């Protein structure tokens, strides 16, 4: 039997933040690989799956990694607004977060993210040519790190100002929204 939903808005928010933190620590968590949306260079929505690498609850930030040569990096450099979506089919909980992204390539945030990554993850940034480049056949996976790999790496930090929670149930859905203006929080229930 499915457990009941959190009873208060405070409990909902605590549950959401716990799920996001678990998404970093547990590769099997549905929130480990959420979808990140940005505004494409053509003005259309752009959506892709990312790996959640860090959560700072106090700062309301989420960290993911990307290749600096990717469309995602260019999109967020032009327009830092982004949204993140995750869904847990077992719990039937959807989380939607929105805010702005800061790009970190040549700073302490990027360096800490790079050194804190497993070598297998770092190898992704050694791919040549750049992500999204048309090729005749799939290129071989990189087997060794080179100097260019670190130069291709960036950390993206999403500071969310909105978090929306949706709990699906045959007994009745529940929905809540949390909005921050600076450190001021507005929390409210919504009609699902």
Query: What average pLDDT does the segment 76-95 reach?
Result: 97
Segments of 32-170 assigned E as strands:
35-39, 45-49, 54-56, 61-67, 81-88, 93-104, 153-167
Residue 150's pLDDT is 96
The full set of domain ranges for the chain reads 9-190
Percentage above 90 pLDDT, the chain:
91
Predicted confidence (pLDDT) at residue 86 exceeds the cutoff of 80: yes
Predicted confidence (pLDDT) at residue 91 exceeds the cutoff of 80: yes
Q: What is d(CA 48, CA 34) in angstroms, rounded to the nearest whole number?
A: 8
DSSP run (H or E) holding 150: helix 147-152
Q: What is the pLDDT of residues 49-66, one digit of tens each?
A: 999 999 999 999 999 999
Residue 155's pLDDT is 98
Pick the residue with more confidence: 142 or 11? 11
Q: Which among 56, 150, 79 has a CA at the least distance from the CA of 110?
A: 150
Q: Just give the CATH number of 9-190.
A: 2.30.110.10
**3-state SS class at 121:** helix
Q: What is the pLDDT of residues 138-176, one digit of tens each?
A: 998 888 888 899 999 999 999 999 999 999 999 899 999
């Amino acid at each position: 039997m499915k457990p009941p939903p959190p009873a208060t808005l405070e409990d909902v928010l605590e549950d959401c933040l716990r799920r996001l933190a678990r998404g970093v620590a547990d590769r099997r968590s549905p929130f480990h690989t959420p979808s990140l949306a940005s505004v494409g260079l053509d003005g259309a929505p752009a959506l892709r799956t990312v790996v959640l690498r860090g959560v700072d609850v106090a700062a309301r930030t989420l960290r993911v990694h990307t290749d600096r040569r990717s469309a995602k990096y260019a999109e967020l450099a032009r327009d830092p607004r982004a949204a993140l979506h995750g869904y847990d089919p077992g719990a039937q909980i959807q989380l939607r977060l929105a805010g702005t992204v800061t790009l970190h390539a040549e700073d302490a945030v990027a360096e800490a993210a790079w050194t804190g990554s497993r070598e297998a993850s770092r190898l992704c940034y050694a791919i040549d040519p750049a992500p999204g480049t048309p090729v005749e056949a799939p290129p071989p996976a990189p087997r060794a790190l080179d100097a260019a790999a670190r130069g291709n790496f960036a950390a993206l930090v999403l500071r969310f100002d909105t978090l929306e929670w949706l709990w699906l149930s045959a007994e009745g859905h529940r929905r809540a929204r949390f909005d921050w203006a600076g450190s001021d929080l507005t929390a409210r229930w919504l009609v699902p």
